[in-house]
Amino acid sequence: MTPKKGKWIVKTLNKTASVTFTYGDLVALTTGALTTATAQSTTHVGIILTAVTSGDSDFASVVGVPVTVPTEPSCEFEATVTGTLATTDVGNHFDLSTAGLVNKAGTTYKVVCCKGFIATNKGRFSLSSNQDYLRT
């Protein structure tokens, strides 16, 4: 996932110890520390700007990592989609398949809103699950 529109800021937030992260994935806060977003997570902070692997010297530690955070609900990011995205999906809300994939068939949690069609497997989205301004 890549920020594309709006004002995003970089914050250093503590990661959960012994959790792997993939650069560019959505992340959430759980008990005050970052965790990888899942298909069932419902509130998200932003997009992690570093990879964290089990081979890292500080993998088992709670340390700060950079996260790009949207500052307004209209911020958009580009994401890959599982399923077939269509131009008629603009304005619809979807779930995640993983921290790095939007699930076109998932509409239970509605954590992202499609803002633009790029291709059948890629679109522009905003977070409707940002914990600072949750959709009602």
pLDDT tens-digit readout, 71-125: 998 899 999 999 999 999 999 999 999 999 999 999 999 999 999 999 999 999 9
- Distance between CA 34 and CA 5 in Å, rounded? 23
**pLDDT higher than 70, residue 132:** no
Question: Model confidence over 45-73: pLDDT tens digits?
Answer: 999 999 999 999 999 999 999 999 999 98
Query: CA–CA distance from 103 to each of 3, 58, 82, 100 (Å)?
Result: 18, 32, 5, 10
- What is the average pLDDT score of the chain? 92
